[in-house]
Amino acid sequence: MKPLIDMDDTPIIKKPTYLSEDSNFDISGVLYKRRGGWATKINDFQPRFFILKDNVLMYFKTTSMKGVKMDEVRGEIQLGSKTVTAFGAHFDGSPNPYTILVKGEEEKWKLCAEDEESFIGWRDAIEMVVREGSGSFNSWSSGQEEHKGEPHHPPGHIRRQSSSSTSVKKRKPKRGPPPKKKRSWLSNPDNLELIFVMLLLNFCLTLLLLYPSSSHLFSSTICVVANVVVGYSFYHRARRPILTAIPSEVPPPPEPDSPINLTRPSMDPGVEESKDSHGVLGKNYVEVNGEVFPIAGSTIPHFDPEKDELVDGHPPDHSWMDGDGTKFNVRKGPDYSRNKQKAPSAEALYECVGVDFIGTDYKIDEISSEVALPDTDSINTHDPNVPPIFVVNVQFPTEPPGWTSVDDGPGIQVVIYFRIKDEVCKQLQVLNDDWAEGEEKEMVDVKPATKLFKEYCIQAFDDPTFRSRFKIIAYVENMSEMGLPGFITSYNAKPALIRKTGTLFRGPDNKYIEMDINVHRFATLPRKGLTILMSRFDEMMLYVGFVIEGRCNEELPECLFGTAYLQKPDPEKSIPVFDQN
C-alpha cells in the first residue's frame, strides 16, 4: 500500500512501535492528524509522530523516532476521567475508516491510522488508559447494554466491543450512487471567489488609472503585474495536493472480536435473537429473510429517565429521549390569520423510539427500507393511510457550502423514528367508525390535529401544496449560553416549512411513511447557517418537533405529531453503517 502522503526522504512508520516493558513509552508511531483553522484549506490530514507516555498522548512534527525531541512537543492531551474518545467515527475528509477521536478538557484531535493493524494497536492502547481513568469511549460497533463480568460504566455509556474473525458485512443500500452530473465551471466556489477577487482588484486599479497625477505607464504595469500574481496564486492553490480517500479496496473497520449474541433494543421486543451463517451477528444488526439489516436507532444510546441516572442534572452527552411537546408554541386559533395567537402544543401524536446519526458518501433516500424498523405487528391504526411508523430523515451535507446548490454529496443523515400512540389509534377508530363485531364503542374526543394528520397522509403524496404544510421546529434550550450570532438565535423555536426540499415515501403495506429533507438543496444562506450550527451541535440541548400546518379553524389548534430531545449530539460520532462502495 502506498503511503497516504509522499514525504521527501522521510521514512513513514506505518505500524505502531511497541516498546519493551522497561521503555518510557507505552506505544509510539505515526498517525495522520487533521489540521485546524485555515490549514484545513491546504491539507486536511498530515503525518505526525505520536507517543503515549504516562497517560499523556503527545505528538511531534517529525515522522520518525529519530527526529523526536521531548522538548519540542507540538501538543498533548492528558487521558483520564474526562477524556472522550471515538473509534471509526465519520470524519469529513478522512482518508479511510480507521479514525480516532480524542477529546480532552481543552483540545480535540481527529486522527487517522494508515491501516487496520495500526488502528487496532492505538485503539487498544488508548482505551486501556481511558478505561483505567474511567473515561468514556465509543466505536462504530458499540452496543448499549452491560455484560456480566465487565466493569460498570455510567448510564448512557457506550461500551466498545472487541474485534473478531466473525464479522457482519455492511449492508449495501438497494439504490446505488447517483449518476455524476456535469458541473459547470461557475459551480466551483473557488472559481467564483477568483472572479470576485479579480473584479474587485481591477476596479481598484481602474480608479488608480483614472487618477490625474498618476503615470499611465506605471499604473498599467501595476495592473498587469497584480492580475498575473493573483491569477497565478489561485491557479496554484487549486493544484495543491489534498489528502483524498483511499480507494474502495480498503476494508471496513474491524468488527467485534468476541461472538456476541444479537439482542434487539427494547423498542422492538418482537424480533427474536438471530444468527448468521457463522453463528452470530453484530449487536447493531439483525437478519430478516436471509438479509442483514442495521437496527434502526442503534447508533445513539437511548436515555430512559425512569431507569438511567442523570449526569450533572442532564442526560449523558450524545444521547436521546422522547421529547416534550409542550416545549413548542403552535397555532392556537380560532382566527389565527387575524389574531396570530400561539400556545404550547399538546403531547405529540407519535412517540420517539429511535434516533440515528449515519455517515454517508452520498445521501440515502427512503432509509426506512434499508434498516430493521421497530416491530408493529400488534399495532392497528384503524386507518389504511395512517402508518404505525413515521420516519423523518434529514440529510445534512458535510462539505462546505458553495454559492450554488447541489442535490447530493457526502453527509450525515439524522434519522428520527416515531411510533403511533395508543390514544391516537383510538381517535382514528372513532373517526373511521372502525369497530369489530361485538366490540363496545368508546367515547373519545378526536383532536383536530388527528384529523389533519390523517388528511396529510392521504393528500400529501399527490398534492404538492398539501405536502408543503410539513413544518420542522428546532428549539435549543441553552441557546443563550452558546454565544451564537443574532441572525441565528432569532430563528430559535421558529417553524420552517419544508417545500421543494421534502420528499415523501410510503412503505409496503403502509408500514411506514418517511419524509426526507434534503438540506443539500437548501438556499445558500440557510445552508451556511446550518454549517455554523452543525459545528456546535455537540454543545446543544436540542428539542426538535414536527407538525402539519393548520390553516382554518377546523384544523386548529395545531399539535406536534412527533418530537425528540437530543443531549449535545456529536456529528463526529456518526456511524457509516452502510457499505456504499
% of the chain surpassing 70 pLDDT: 72
- Angle in degrees, 0-180, between the axes of helices 216-238 and 189-210, rounded to the nearest 10: 170
Task: Say yes or no to pLDDT of 358 above 90.
Answer: yes
Q: Please report the pLDDT score of residue 20 as a whole number.
A: 36
Q: Please report the pLDDT score of residue 34 as a whole number.
A: 86
More confident residue, 419 or 279: 419
Q: Please report the pLDDT score of residue 515 as a whole number.
A: 98
| Separation CA 56–CA 125 (nearest Å) | 12
Q: Please report the pLDDT score of residue 98 as a whole number.
A: 87
List the grid coordinates of 302. Answer: 437511548
Instruction: Give 513-538 pLDDT, tens digit per residue.
Output: 999 999 988 887 788 778 778 889 99
Which 3 state secondary structure label does DSSP give 384? coil
Instruction: Give 533-564 pLDDT, tens digit per residue.
Output: 888 999 999 999 999 999 999 999 999 999 99
Burial 544-568 (b: 16+ CB within 10 A, else e): bbbbbbbeeeebbbbbbbbbbbbbb
Residue that has been written with the C-alpha cell 451477528 in this structure:
281
Task: Say yes or no to pLDDT of 241 above 50.
Answer: no
Provide, for the chain, the percentages of residues in helix, strand and coil under a 3-state DSSP scheme, each rounded to the nearest 5. Answer: 25, 25, 50
| Separation CA 117–CA 224 (nearest Å) | 55
Q: Please report the pLDDT score of residue 25 as a whole number.
A: 66
Give yes or no for a contact between 322 and 305, defined as CB atoms under 8 angstroms apart. no
Instruction: Give 342-355 pLDDT, tens digit per residue.
Output: 999 999 999 999 99
- Round the CA-based radius of gyration of the chain to a whole number and report it: 27
Task: Say yes or no to pLDDT of 307 above 80.
Answer: yes
Q: Which of 154-158, 444-448, 513-517, 576-580 has the lowest average pLDDT?
A: 154-158
| Separation CA 427–CA 216 (nearest Å) | 83
Among candidates 311, 313, 314, 360, which has minimal Cα distance to 565?
314
Average pLDDT over every residue of 288-296:
86
Average pLDDT score over the chain: 77
Which residues does 530 contact at the CB level (< 8 Å), separation at least 6?
396, 519, 522
Q: Please report the pLDDT score of residue 168 as a whole number.
A: 56
More confident residue, 181 or 46: 46
Q: Please, which pLDDT band fits residue 292 given cuts at 50, 70 and 90? A: confident
The domain spans of the chain are 27-139, 296-573
Give yes or no for a contact between 320 and 179, defined as CB atoms under 8 angstroms apart. no
Q: Please report the pLDDT score of residue 263 as a whole number.
A: 29
- pTM of this prediction? 0.61
Q: Per mean pLDDT, which of 90-94, 97-101, 521-525 is the most reliable?
A: 97-101
| Separation CA 549–CA 335 (nearest Å) | 14
Which 3 state secondary structure label does DSSP give 463? coil
How many other C-beta atoms are found inside a 10 Å radius of the C-beta of residue 195?
A: 11
Task: Say yes or no to pLDDT of 175 above 60.
Answer: yes
Q: Which of 103-107, 112-116, 322-326, 446-450 has the lowest average pLDDT?
A: 103-107
Q: Please, which pLDDT band fits residue 157 given cuts at 50, 70 and 90? A: very low
Q: Is the dihedral of CA 371, 372, 376, 377 positive or negative?
A: positive
| Separation CA 294–CA 286 (nearest Å) | 6
Q: Please, which pLDDT band fits residue 228 given cuts at 50, 70 and 90? A: confident
More confident residue, 403 or 476: 476
Task: Say yes or no to pLDDT of 483 above 90.
Answer: no
Q: Please report the pLDDT score of residue 144 as a whole number.
A: 35
Q: Please, which pLDDT band fits residue 255 given cuts at 50, 70 and 90? A: very low
Give yes or no for a contact between 60 and 33, defined as CB atoms under 8 angstroms apart. no
CATH code of the domain occupying 27-139: 2.30.29.30
Q: What are phi and psi of 175, to 5 degrees?
A: -90, 130
Give ∠ CA 547-548-551 in degrees, rounded to 5.
125
Q: Which of 228-242, 248-262, 459-473 has the lowest average pLDDT?
A: 248-262
Give yes or no for a contact between 27 and 38, defined as CB atoms under 8 angstroms apart. no
Average pLDDT over every residue of 316-326:
95
| H/E element, 484 | none
Average pLDDT over every residue of 370-390:
95
Give yes or no for a contact between 252 and 139, defined as CB atoms under 8 angstroms apart. no
Among candidates 496, 501, 452, which has minimal Cα distance to 474?
496
Which 3 state secondary structure label does DSSP give 136? strand
Task: Say yes or no to pLDDT of 4 above 50.
Answer: no
| Separation CA 494–CA 551 (nearest Å) | 17
More confident residue, 487 or 273: 487
Q: Please, which pLDDT band fits residue 581 given cuts at 50, 70 and 90? A: low
More confident residue, 252 or 473: 473
Q: Please, which pLDDT band fits residue 290 given cuts at 50, 70 and 90? A: confident
- Three-state SS sequence of 332-383: CCCCHHHHCCEEECCCCCEEEEEEEEEEECCCCCCHHHHCECCCCCCCCCCC
Task: Say yes or no to pLDDT of 432 above 90.
Answer: yes
Q: Please, which pLDDT band fits residue 412 given cuts at 50, 70 and 90? A: very high
Q: Please, which pLDDT band fits residue 115 given cuts at 50, 70 and 90? A: confident
Task: Say yes or no to pLDDT of 194 above 90.
Answer: no
Question: CA 530: distance to chain centroid?
Answer: 13
Q: Please report the pLDDT score of residue 398 as a whole number.
A: 87
Average pLDDT over every residue of 132-147:
41
Task: Say yes or no to pLDDT of 74 above 80.
Answer: yes
More confident residue, 403 or 308: 308
List the grid coordinates of 70. Answer: 521531548
Q: Which of 170-179, 249-258, 566-575 has the lowest average pLDDT?
A: 249-258
Q: Please, which pLDDT band fits residue 206 given cuts at 50, 70 and 90? A: confident
Task: Say yes or no to pLDDT of 260 above 80.
Answer: no
